[in-house]
A and B are shown apart, each in its own frame.
Chain A
Amino acid sequence: MRYLLMALMLLLSLILPGTAFYFWSWGDIKPDLIMLFIIYMALHHRPLSGALWGLGAGIIEDLYIGRHFGMYSLTLAVVALLTGWLAQRWNRENLPLIILIVFLVTFMGQLVIVFLNLGAGTGWTFYAALRLVGGVSLYNAVLVPITYPWIHRSFVKGWLKYRPKYER
């Protein structure tokens, strides 16, 4: 059930930005739900395990988008590592801190995407890139109070909680 739910969340994170969030975008800015999903995963896993989730989700997103292979694989792995590093230092029960983590990590993740886009020869002006990076980070941070409490509860004592084989 745990892995089925995670797979469902991953698929929803893939399709919602292009469908439902098309109607809830702020001037073409929409949240990066996969990045938010990976941040939540990394907050509730060990750093290496979180990074593997990031890499796996990144590969799936790269395949789904069908171009610029490697961009999201690398970005989401970095995002997961950064989240894991912060989660070891900051309390994951503290909602304002989680909002700050999501904002900072999304900002860094989107900067990696800008860097890789520039390296790949895509022309972005500084202002346009900053607007998107800041906007996406802010949108992800706004979604935290709505999504994090029930996801965290599920990781701690619900369907998403890890149970060793002998407990199942």
Chain B
Amino acid sequence: MGKRKVTATGIIVLIFFLILGVLISIRLTGIGNTFSNPVGNALHRVLSPVESVILQAGNGIRNNTRALWNFRSVEAENEALKKRVEQLTGDNLELKEQVLAGLRYNALDQGLFNSPTLSKYEKSGASITNRNPTAWYQTLTLNKGSNDGVAVNNPIIAQYGLVGKVVAVTPSTCEVLMITDGEGKVSALVRGSTGNATFGIVEGTYKQTSRLDAKGNLQMLFRREDNVNIGDLVLTSGLGGVYPKDIPIGKVEQIQLDSSGLLKTAYINPLEDFDSLEEVYIVKKAEGE
């Protein structure tokens, strides 16, 4: 029997089926998949303590040397503050406006974690052990897993508001998709100062637009006639079955009409500073909720 010859067509067919197979595998094992991954779980169990130590050390160094690293921004901030002091001293009216704005902000922030919907759930604290293992997704790894009762779709909150939801769980860790990622959408409502609510979907702008920064950005689409204003507070609506109602998400910072003039986009500044998160709460929901 003669030796079989490898032809160019054979190689092309092989590459085609290889890519097709990988694409199918990627599609089947996307975010939120339920495939068991014992090797990955073991890797996380072993590496999680090391990652936690490195991240904590990094946080400590950053917090203690922030003024050194951000010398230019601190200097600029200092200059801006000096000008601000001069301006405020000479303009009493603006001072009053600032005070009023501060009061309004505090009033909007009231009710944090006093939501009747949220208070009925059990909450458990967790530390962040890893942030975005790849640059392609905005995720966090926490040091709590299925052994601690964590399940996929458990909401994650922090001191000031919503962080994201659990998308993968190992016995000792879980992975959280942050709301700033384009894949993580949240059913929300915008509550204005008059108390009226406008419903919509909050979506992360990470990987959708050029508005990328370390803190991430959020946006909501509305009809032109919807009553949404700068400074309005954005809360979870409780619809959709993943997030409890009335968890603060952020404040409307900027509103932009689209080119057709029919829709407008509200850019939302998250209440939570995702960049300096170290501890979060996992909201545990009962089966079927």
Within 8 A of B (CB), among A47-96: 60, 63-71, 73-74
Stretch of B40-48, B73-81, B263-271 at the chain-chain interface: B40-48
Bound CA–CA A131/B51 (angstroms) = 27
Q: Is the CB of B18 within 8 A of A22?
A: no
Q: Which residues of A are found within 8 Å of B22, using beta-carbon distances?
A: 70-71, 73-74, 116
Pair B130/A18 contact, Cβ less than 8 Å: yes
- Which residues of chain B from 23 to 41 have any CB-CB distance to chain A below 8 Å in the complex? 23, 25-31, 33, 35, 37, 39-40
Query: Is residue B134 contacting chain A, with contact meaning CB distance below 8 A?
Result: yes
- Contact call B135/A29, Cβ cutoff below 8 A: yes
A119 at the B interface (CB under 8 A): yes
B187-208 contacts to A, CB under 8 A, are 206-208
Q: Is A166 located at the chain interface by the 8 A CB criterion?
A: no
B26 A136 Cβ-Cβ under 8 A: no
Q: Which of A98-106, A121-129, A141-149, A150-158 participates in binding chain B? A: A121-129
Q: Is the CB of B213 within 8 A of A27?
A: yes
Tell me the residues in window 123-165 of chain B with beta carbons closer than 8 Å to chain A beta carbons. 130-136, 141
CB-contact partner of A63 in B39, B54, B132, B208, under 8 A: B39
A15 touching B50 by the CB < 8 A rule? yes
Min CB–CB distance A31 → chain B (angstroms): 9
B33–A117 touching, CB < 8 Å:
no
Chosen A-B contacts, 24 in total, with CB atoms closer than 8 Å, are: A11-B47, A15-B51, A19-B58, A19-B131, A20-B58, A23-B61, A25-B135, A25-B214, A27-B212, A27-B214, A28-B135, A28-B212, A32-B135, A63-B37, A65-B133, A69-B35, A70-B22, A71-B22, A71-B26, A116-B23, A119-B19, A119-B26, A125-B208, A128-B210
Closest B residue, CB atoms, query A72 = B134
| Nearest B residue (CB) for A133 | B135
Distance (Å) between the CB of A75 and the closest chain B CB? 9
Chain B interface (Cβ < 8 Å from any Cβ of A): 18-19, 21-23, 25-31, 33, 35, 37, 39-40, 43-44, 47, 50-51, 54-55, 58, 61-62, 130-136, 141, 168, 170, 175, 182-183, 206-210, 212-214
A67 touches B212 (CB 8 A): no
Contacts of B209 in A (CB 8 A): 125, 128
Closest to A16 in B: B54
In the A-B complex, the 10 residue pairs with the smallest Cβ-Cβ separation, listed nearest first, are A18-B130, A70-B22, A19-B54, A18-B133, A70-B25, A63-B40, A120-B26, A69-B29, A119-B23, A68-B26
Q: Please give, as numbers and ranges, the residues of chain B lying within 8 Å of A44 by CB-CB distance.
A: none
Contact A74:B40 (CB < 8 A) given known A65-B134, A128-B212: no
A74 and B182 alpha carbons, distance in the complex (Å): 25
Instruction: Name which residue of chain B comes closest to A115, CB basis.
Output: B19
CA A25 to CA B215, docked complex, whole Å: 12
Q: Which residues of B contact A64 (CB under 8 A)?
A: 40, 43-44, 47, 133
Alpha-carbon gap, A120 to B170, bound state (A): 24
Contact: B141 with A117, CB < 8 Å?
Answer: no
Contact of B210 among A66, A68, A71, A131 (CB under 8 A): A131
Contact between chains at B207 and A68 (CB < 8 Å): no
Closest to A73 in B: B22
B132–A22 CB distance below 8 A: yes
Q: How far is the CB of A143 from chain B (nearest CB, A)?
A: 14
**Interface-centre pick from B33, B136, B170 (highest chain A CB count, 10 A):** B136
Q: Which residues of B contact A22 (CB under 8 A)?
A: 55, 58, 131-132
**A25-B214, A120-B26 given as contacts; is B135 within 8 A of A132 (CB)?**
yes
Question: Distance in Å from the Cβ of A167 to the closest Cβ of chain B?
Answer: 33
- Given A20-B54, A123-B182, are A67 and B30 also a contact pair (CB < 8 Å)? yes
A18 and B131 contacting across the interface, CB-CB below 8 Å: yes
Check B58 against A120 for contact (C-beta < 8 Å).
Answer: no
Q: Contacts of A135 on B, CB cut-off 8 Å?
A: 135
